[in-house]
Copies of this chain bind each other. A is one copy, B any other.
Amino acid sequence: MVNETMYDYGSRASVIREIFEYGKKRAAEIGAENVFNFSIGNPSVPAPDTVTKALEKLLAEGDPVFLHGYTSAVGDPGTRKAIADSINRKYNAGVTPDRIYMTCGAAGALSSCLKAVITSPEDEIIAFTPFFPEYTVFTHANGGKLVQVESRDGDFQIDLEKLDKAMNPHVQALIVNSPNNPSGVIYTEETIRNLAAYLEKKQAEYGHEIYLISDEPYRELVYDGLKVPYVTNYYDNSMVCYSYSKALSLPGERIGFALVGPKMKDAGKVYAAICGAGRALGYVCAPSLFQFLVRDCVDEVSDISIYKRNRDLLNENLTAYGYTCVRPDGAFYLFMKSPEPDANAFCEKAKKHELLFVPCDGFGTPGYVRISYCVQTEQIERALPAFKALAEEYGLTK
């Protein structure tokens, strides 16, 4: 007598979680240093010292009744102002605090945005492969259908022809995720411009809004000085789902926000619907201490040079061994082609070398694996011989 869909969500562990747990078990058996667990996206770089210091200062000087009290449901006004100011300094985006809704991380923001824009069971949400598997759960749980559109082969930018084949008047929103989990790809300015122009055209054709939901937990994790275009500057009907999980290495604290673009049509109404959806989902307010922390540390970022070093080490060596990798511009995942068509079978063979990573079937890209490099650099160094041996097994080594 329980909801079978919810039971299914609760009882079928995600593939990622399953492999991660296997890794923990295996580490207990043969020693942690002998298991190469690249399965999970938990930041390995600690929160900046300034974050710990700011938290200590808040606790030492703040009035606990205020510090730990309910904030306004939409979030502390000072925090929202600090965020808007920071975005405008960096991207000249003209966003305003009254269009920012503080949430329990990007997942809380995404759920609220999806619930706000899904109006009937016919409504469709488009995601581009590869995409974070929870998009499907969040879309279904809020009453809509998720439609996958394949990305361009090779560079994984948006393929407008494929998008056009999927597009129809039931599409309420598209989700983009750049830098991407699991591919590490950043959408170029050209991609965003072309997507915006295409969506403008389709909006005019259908006579209704099509929302662009930009899921941005990896915005700050970008290498080689690349820029991630700010979507609200390119497409009016954009909303942004942001998280401090990766930027400040605070994934467990559940702090982020949803933002409605300043030029969105009926921005006030859409914003109210997002806040109402958050209320209906049971989010009373985002965790208060970490709201104040964000206010005080809005421009801080964890030391991403460690991720960059890991990326280079892994990407250069694996490519040298003969693997086909997408060189990540951002995030902390290496997206690699499985040397056999079945990525699950490949992952099983890798396990024999104590190499643990994730098949990407659930991300909409069978035949690929995700290797999380948010790990200690030493783990990568120790794992390289195993990667090499596995490559030799497949006859990849040149």
Q: Which residues of A contact B (CB under 8 A)?
A: 1-11, 17, 40, 42-47, 51-52, 55-56, 59-60, 63-65, 67-71, 73, 104-105, 107-108, 110-112, 115-119, 134, 137-138, 140-141, 172, 208-209, 249-254, 266, 269-291
A105: contacting residue among B1, B45, B108, B284, CB under 8 A: B284
Verify A64–B47 contact, CB threshold 8 A. Answer: yes
User: Taking A3-B115, A59-B52 as contacts, is the C-beta distance between A253 and B288 under 8 angstroms?
Assistant: yes
| Complex contact B249–A65 (CB within 8 A) | yes
In Å, the complex CA distance between A64 and B56 comes to: 13
Tell which of A60, A64, A137, A279 has the most Cβ of chain B within 10 Å.
A64
Q: Name, among A9, A47, A271, the residue most crowded by chain B CB atoms within 10 Å (CB to CB).
A: A9
Contact B8 A276 (CB under 8 A): yes
Residues of B within 8 A of A249 (CB): 64-65, 68
A275 to B137, CA, bound (A): 13
C-alpha gap A134/B69 in the complex (Å): 19
Q: How many copies does the complex hold?
A: 2
22 residue pairs A–B, Cβ–Cβ below 8 Å: A1-B209, A2-B269, A3-B119, A6-B274, A7-B269, A7-B276, A10-B278, A11-B269, A43-B65, A68-B253, A69-B252, A70-B251, A104-B283, A105-B284, A107-B282, A111-B282, A137-B279, A138-B280, A252-B287, A252-B291, A253-B289, A287-B287
A5 / chain B contacts, CB cutoff of 8 Å: 276, 280
Q: Is the CB of A52 within 8 A of B65?
A: no
Contact indicator B111/A2 (Cβ below 8 Å): no
Query: In the complex, what's the smallest C-beta–C-beta distance from A89 to chain B, in angstroms?
Result: 26
Contact yes or no, B283 A251, CB < 8 A: no
Bound-state Cα–Cα, A282 to B45, Å: 25
What residues of chain B lie closer than 8 Å to A254, measured between beta carbons? 104, 254, 283-287
Q: Would you list the 10 A-B pairs with minimal beta carbon distance, nearest first?
A: A10-B276, A252-B288, A111-B282, A9-B276, A141-B280, A10-B272, A2-B273, A10-B275, A6-B276, A46-B64
Chain B residues with CB under 8 A of A9: 275-277, 279-280
Q: A10-B276, A254-B285, A290-B287 are in contact. Are A3 and B111 (CB under 8 A)?
A: no
Tell me the minimal C-beta distance from A133 to chain B in angstroms. Answer: 11
Given contacts A68-B251, A251-B70, contact A2 B283 (CB under 8 A): no
Q: Which of B46, B73, B116 sits near A6, CB closer than 8 Å?
A: B116
Shortest Cβ distance from A338 into chain B, in angstroms?
27
What are the residues of chain B within 8 A of A2 when measuring CB–CB? 116-117, 119, 266, 269-270, 273
Task: Write the chain B residue with the least CB distance to A45.
Answer: B65
Nearest Cβ distance between residue A81 and chain B, in whole angstroms? 18
Q: Are B65 and A44 in contact (CB under 8 A)?
A: yes
Contact between B68 and A252, CB atoms less than 8 A apart? yes
Q: Which residues of B contact A70 (CB under 8 A)?
A: 40, 42, 251-252
Q: Is the CB of B69 within 8 A of A43?
A: yes
- Bound state CA distance, A46 and B59, in angstroms? 12
Known A-B contacts A65-B43, A252-B287; A273 and B116 likewise in contact (beta carbons under 8 Å): no
| Contact indicator A59/B68 (Cβ below 8 Å) | no
The distance in angstroms between the C-alpha atoms of A64 and B266, with both chains bound, is 42
Q: Find chain B residues with CB under 8 A from A287 CB.
A: 104, 252-254, 287, 290
Q: Which residues of B contact A115 (CB under 8 A)?
A: 3, 6
